[in-house]
Amino acid sequence: MNDRHRIKLRPSVIWAYIAPGLLWYAFMVIVPLCIMVGMSFFDWRSVLDNKFIGLENFKELLGDRIFRTALWNNIKIILICLVGQVGLGFLVSLLVNSKVLKFAKVHRVAIFLPVILSTVVVGFMWSIVYNNDFGIVNAFLRAIGQGDLARSWLDNPKQVVFLLAIPLIWQYIGYNMVIFLSGLQGIPTEILESASIDGANAWQRARYVTMPLMKNTFFVVIMLCISGNMKIFDHIYIMTNGGPGSSSMVLALYAYKMSFGASRFGYANAVSVAILVVSLVLIAVLKLVLKEEKDA
C-alpha cells in the first residue's frame, strides 16, 4: 500500500476506538480486584458490620490449617495436571498432527468435545463414575471378578485429590491440544523433514526439534494450567464439597465457604488475594526457569 492510500488517525480517534474496551475491562476486572484487596483488610460481616483490621486476616491465614491444606491440594492438582493436561495434551497433538493417525478430524472433535461441557455436568458425570453402588469403575471391577477392590473411591482422603484431578485432565486436555496444534502448524515442515533425513526418529524430532521451537507455546499452556487450577472450584464443589473432612479442600472453595457459609467476607477476600499472589509467584518462577534455559 503506497503512502497516498494510508489513513492517518488522530490520537483522539484511536482512543475513541479503544476506550469502550478499556472501560469494560476496568469495570469487570480492575475495579473488582481493587475491591477484593480493600475488603481483605476488614473484618467484614455486612455493609453495616465491618471494621478495619489491617493485616490480621493474612496473619490468621498463616496459622489456618484448612488454608494450608487447601493450598497444598491446589499445588498437588497443578503438578498432576502439568503431567496430564500439558504432557498428554502435547503428545495427543503430535499424534493428531501426524500422518500416522487416520480420521484425524474425527479424533480432534472427540478429544475437544469435553471442553464445551459444563463443569457442573462433568462433576456429576465423574461422581457417577466413582459411585460405590452403580459407578462404572466398580462395575468394571466386579465384571472382571475383582469385586473385592470395589469401594467408595472419593471417601479415601489419601487418594481423593488424585481422583479429582482426573476429570480436570479429561475435560481440558483437548483445550491444550488445540493450542499445541496451532504451535505445531507454525513450525516449517522443511526443518522436520531435514531432521528426518538426518536419521532422527519421531521421539528425537519431538524432543530436539519440535519442543525447543514451541517454548512460547509451552509457556502459554503451562501458565493457563497454573492459573486455571489455582482457581478450580466447580468440580470439587460438585464431587466432594471439600471432603471427606477437608482432605479435598481447595482455595476457591474455602473462600466460598468463608464468605457464604461463615459470612466472613473480609477473610474470604484475603483467601482470594492469596490465590492471586500464589498464581503470580508460580508464573514468575516459570518465566525465570524458561529464561535461564534460553540463556543457557
Q: What is the pLDDT of residues 43-55, one digit of tens each?
A: 988 877 789 999 9
CA dihedral 147, 152, 157, 159 (to 10 degrees): 50
Q: How far apart, in whole angstroms, are the C-alpha atoms of residue 285 and residue 258?
A: 29
Which has more confidence, 189 or 62? 62
| pTM of the model as a whole | 0.89
Query: Which set of grid coordinates corresponds to residue 23?
Result: 472501560
- The pLDDT assigned to 17 comes to 87
Half-sphere exposure of 165 (CA within 13 A, CB side): 20
What's residue 167's pLDDT? 95
144-194 pLDDT, tens digit each:
998 888 888 999 999 999 999 999 999 999 999 999 999 988 888 888 888
* SS percent in the chain: helix, strand, coil, step 5: 75, 0, 25
Quick one: CATH architecture of 64-295?
A: Orthogonal Bundle (1.10)
Domain extents in the chain = 64-295
Q: Which residues contact 263 (CB under 8 A, 6 or more apart)?
A: 45, 46
Secondary element (H or E) of residue 44: strand 42-44
Residue 89: exposed, middle, or buried by beta-carbon count in 10 A (0-12, 13-18, 19+)?
buried
Nearest C-alpha neighbor of 67 from the set 280, 270, 285, 260: 270
Residue type, 92: V
